[in-house]
Amino acid sequence: MDIVLAISQLTNRVQGVIHARVFKIWQAIDTKNNNVWGMNFVLLDKEGDAIQGVMPINIYRRMEIDFVEGNICEIGRFTVEHIKNSAFRTVKHDFTLYFSGQTYVTPLAPDLHDVPVCYFDFKRLEDIGTKITDEKQPFDVIGRVSHFTTIQEKWANGKPTKMQTIYMTNESGQTVEMTLWAHFVDELDIDGAYAKSNNQPIILACSSVMLKPYRGKYSLKAYAATRFYMDRGIKEIKEYLESVHCDDTAIQNTDAIVSNEGSPSNAHAQNIDRIKISLGELSMLPLNNFSTGQYLCVAQIVGVNNPFDWYYEGCPKCNGKLRQSWCVGCETKREQPIICYKILWQVEDDTGEAEFSAIGNTAQYMIGEKASEVKDKSNLDCNELPPPLKKLIGKKYKFTVSGKLQVLYKNHRVYNILQSELNSSK
């Protein structure tokens, strides 16, 4: 019977089997031709130690049913070699596992093995760009999500691609940004996490992010080995919350709240610091003020600037606008779209006027009906504004708008509504 070894005991001089959780798996790519030649992986044992390994793609195909992220397995007949190149190492172990045609993987009952779910070796945010400067060395970080941007659609690699920037802050106030692209936006799903957070802080633990230097500044980026964790049941996240006492600290900048084509209801925009400002003052702010922040304006709705296209056909999964039934964000054809609001309110006060956009649930909160219901009850051929929209003209609201401009051309600005409240004062 083979000896069951701890991962910390693995060297090129010992033989045996290990009982370990498959923490993560990602593709090994030949940078010369961009072909996938194998699979990298990280294994984690009950002592909390981890080791990185690699196997040829044909070996992975043979065992991929059992060798799945999260599974606990007995693994034997592997080889162990000392690390020759420390680049792209995700764990601290000095050795690497290699799987061959003789390697076997046998799933074990998870209830019989108390193996941690995750492995982290957190680095301080303060050290990014000082002690942490190697662009080829992944590392782990943890912090509170202080704010995040809207999901944008950018042109990358010859096709439209999702992009979103996340800002993480630690207990000392140090902040670092991480820009996510393509499928990483959906994998993190920070908009969904915020909608479910009940205005509680979101602690984000990132496994294996990379450094991204640009013009003397450093940010974070995700790559194939990156994984995101926000579950408060995870030991490291629970310990972080207890250590920094931030259970009542809400996300500070809900410029982050609104997705590209939809937004949550007013309930998710409470308890945020806002700058009270008139429309005249808002229009005079320099453009470089509009990267972050929120502004509270009391204004009257005087019209709708898009009376004939106040709704759009959206993706039922991400609310993104469909183009000939195709969702760019999900890269999927949608046969049954949903109807979503996208209203451009013209508003004014004693000092000036502005254009505010109400998208998705933000508009539904104001109108009190779903966009599909309003559309079904409206005579779209008579070129008249639907009554539920028309009845809001003349009413005065307290608007919280995002400092990030949604549209800007020829000095024309459109501000995204994050929250609205009917103004009862005269």
Backbone phi and psi for residue 204, each to the nearest 5 degrees, phi listed first? -110, 120
Residues 309/350, Cβ–Cβ less than 8 Å: no
Counting residues of the chain whose pLDDT is more than 70, the rounded percentage is 85
pLDDT in tens, 209-235: 999 988 788 999 999 999 999 998 899
pLDDT in tens, 54-63: 999 999 999 9
Q: How confident is the model at residue 1 (pLDDT cuts 50, 70, 90)?
A: low
Q: Nearest-CA neighbor of 211 among 152, 125, 129, 124? A: 129
Q: Where are the alpha helices (DSSP H) in 54-211?
A: 57-63, 183-188, 190-195
Q: How far apart are CA 324 and CA 312, in angstroms?
A: 12
DSSP assignment, residue 269?
Answer: G
Strand partners, 349: 352
pTM beyond 0.85, yes or no: no
Q: How far apart are CA 386 and CA 46, in angstroms?
A: 62
Q: Given a cut of 80, is residue 336 above it in pLDDT?
A: yes
pLDDT in tens, 163-205: 899 989 887 778 899 999 999 999 999 888 887 877 688 999 9
